């Protein structure tokens, strides 16, 4: 009996061992090779309506329409007051760390403790890293990948934190947070972070031509004091486009034999949506889409690069068609030459309304009601500095039948699309925290929060 038991146990052990070897072999054989490179695109405030607007404006399919794998993403934060509507920092924290947090947190949890980001994890794996944006580089979305702060507005602190993270490529605006007040910036500690960055080995560039010349090494590009221009206003000789910055970042980062992680943000889709400037939203969506094409062209020539496109939240409650009508008039928006907020409204006075509407908005038939709206806005301007901007945006949106439900963000789901290794995991309905988890899985790490 004893002998039989021993023999039985022995046999069982052998069978179990064989089983273990076999199953581990099968899992290894089944798992696809990890993605060496990850390019994550975030269209700030870019909901489904924004994509439709861009597509109609272009008159053709967007690059992002060609992604075979896509899904929907829920975006709500873990905020005690603003329960269902996230801001950019809580959403970026969720995407960068897999942890939901309160609005205005930069990669810290609800207890204000720092949480490790996908960029930090990629660095630990020896990968090169990059952040590219059309906002200040210290703004919520890029900040959440390479800084930890209890408050998104502490951009001077965030600039120091981001430099200390030794991100290989940083391209965007926000020079004001890198230089002292004496130098014309916003730093109160007298530090010159541009000089410090140079000492750390960064090449620092401040215009398009300087950027295009750099081909390797660490690169810090700060092209404006605050945000970069809206695409519609951009001086293409001086300021690089989002696509050009993306191309440069990939060119430099792809030299790392361990691969790279790059986040690219179309950061001002959100800004234009807050003020209901549809023509500017459309152009910034198209500029974002062109940047996606750059990464997709890179990924298509190989089988090791995962490209993900998503948004942090929807802004404006944008709808194609509005004001109770079954129509939309994109041609109205196509005549607009500049952004309302940064170029057109500053030119307006009560005396030149007709002339500015004709020159910049292609409107020759301003109605009496519209004229009254504008004149009232000027009267209101002392109490409400954005009254004139809002009035122009209202006139344009009504003429185009572009609908808006809010001047803030909404809790609507946003899109996610993916291409490359593990792209099929970014399908169905997921949460924004899943994007972090799926990226970690895609680069070959199994343990995640
Ligand atoms: Zn916003």
Residue 369: give its domain's CATH number. Answer: 1.10.60.40
383 and 429 within one domain: no
> What's the confidence (pLDDT) of residue 362?
98
Binding-site residue numbers for Zn(2+) are 44, 270, 274, 312-313, 409
280 Cα: distance to centroid of ligand 1 (angstroms): 15
Whether residue 103 lies inside any domain: the answer is yes
212 Cα: distance to centroid of ligand 1 (angstroms): 30
155 and 246 within one domain: yes
Among all chains, which residue has been given the structure tokens 């080995």? 201
> What's the confidence (pLDDT) of residue 29?
45
Whether residue 374 lies inside any domain: the answer is yes
Whether residue 252 lies inside any domain: the answer is yes
335 and 309 within one domain: no
Closest listed residue to residue 193, CA positions, set 138, 146, 152: 138
88 Cα: distance to centroid of ligand 1 (angstroms): 6
391 Cα: distance to centroid of ligand 1 (angstroms): 20
Whether residue 448 lies inside any domain: the answer is no
223 Cα: distance to centroid of ligand 1 (angstroms): 21
> What's the confidence (pLDDT) of residue 14?
63
Residue-wise pLDDT tens digits, 71-113: 999 999 999 999 999 999 999 999 999 999 999 999 999 999 9
Residue-wise pLDDT tens digits, 282-292: 999 999 999 99
182 Cα: distance to centroid of ligand 1 (angstroms): 31
Whether residue 422 lies inside any domain: the answer is yes
Residue stretches of the chain with pLDDT short of 50: 25-29, 449
397 and 428 within one domain: no
Binding-site residue numbers for Mg(2+) are 44, 139, 141, 265
173 and 129 within one domain: yes
261 and 243 within one domain: yes
> What's the confidence (pLDDT) of residue 28?
46
> What's the confidence (pLDDT) of residue 446?
74
> What's the confidence (pLDDT) of residue 449?
47
338 and 205 within one domain: no
Whether residue 1 lies inside any domain: the answer is no
- Is 353 within 8 Å of 442 (Cβ atoms)? no
The boundaries of the domain holding residue 349 are 319-403
381 and 352 within one domain: yes
CATH code assigned at 253: 3.40.720.10
415 and 343 within one domain: no
213 and 112 within one domain: yes
> What's the confidence (pLDDT) of residue 32?
79
383 and 248 within one domain: no
Whether residue 14 lies inside any domain: the answer is no
42 Cα: distance to centroid of ligand 1 (angstroms): 13
> What's the confidence (pLDDT) of residue 342?
98
384 and 327 within one domain: yes
> Which residues are catalytic, by number?
88
126 Cα: distance to centroid of ligand 1 (angstroms): 33
Domain count, the chain: 2
């Amino acid at each position: 009996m004893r002998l039989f038991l021993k023999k039985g146990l022995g046999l069982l052990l052998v069978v179990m061992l064989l089983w273990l070897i076999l199953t581990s072999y099968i899992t290894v054989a089944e798992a696809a090779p990890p993605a060496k490179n990850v390019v994550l695109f975030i269209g700030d405030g870019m909901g489904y309506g924004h994509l439709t607007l861009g597509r109609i404006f272009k008159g053709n399919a967007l690059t992002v329409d060609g992604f075979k794998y896509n899904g929907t993403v829920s975006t709500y934060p873990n905020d005690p007051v603003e329960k269902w509507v996230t801001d950019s920092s809580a959403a970026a924290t969720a995407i960068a760390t897999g942890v939901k947090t309160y609005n205005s947190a930069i990669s810290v949890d609800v207890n204000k403790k720092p949480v490790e980001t996908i960029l930090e994890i990629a660095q630990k794996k020896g990968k090169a890293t990059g952040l590219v944006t059309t906002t200040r580089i210290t703004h919520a979305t890029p900040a959440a990948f390479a800084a930890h702060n209890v408050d998104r507005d502490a951009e001077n602190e965030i600039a120091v934190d981001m430099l200390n993270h030794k991100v290989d490529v940083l391209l965007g605006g926000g020079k004001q947070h890198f230089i002292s007040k004496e130098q014309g910036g916003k730093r109160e500690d007298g530090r010159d972070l541009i000089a410090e960055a140079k000492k750390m080995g960064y090449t620092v560039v401040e215009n398009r031509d300087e950027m295009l010349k750099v081909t390797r090494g660490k690169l810090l590009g700060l092209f404006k004091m605050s945000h970069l221009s809206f695409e519609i206003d951009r001086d293409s000789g001086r300021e690089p486009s989002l696509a050009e910055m993306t191309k440069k970042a990939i060119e430099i980062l792809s030299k790392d034999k361990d691969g790279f992680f790059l986040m690219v943000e179309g950061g001002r889709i959100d800004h234009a949506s807050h003020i209901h400037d549809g023509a500017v939203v459309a152009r910034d969506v198209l500029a974002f889409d062109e940047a996606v094409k750059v990464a997709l062209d890179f990924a298509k020539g190989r089988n090791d690069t995962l490209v993900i496109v998503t948004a942090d939240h929807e802004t404006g409650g944008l709808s194609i068609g509005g004001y109770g009508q079954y129509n939309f008039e994109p041609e109205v928006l196509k005549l607009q030459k500049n952004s309302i907020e940064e170029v057109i409204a500053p030119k307006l006075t009560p005396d030149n309304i007709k002339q500015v509407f004709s020159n910049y908005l292609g409107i020759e038939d301003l109605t009496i009601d519209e004229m009254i709206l504008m004149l009232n806005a000027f009267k209101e301007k002392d109490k409400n500095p954005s009254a004139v901007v809002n009035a122009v945006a209202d006139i344009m949106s009504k003429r185009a039948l572009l609908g808006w439900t809010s001047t803030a963000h909404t809790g609507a789901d946003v899109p996610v699309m993916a291409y490359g290794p593990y792209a099929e995991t970014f399908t169905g309905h997921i949460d924004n925290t899943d994007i972090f988890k799926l990226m970690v899985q895609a680069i070959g790490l199994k343990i995640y929060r």
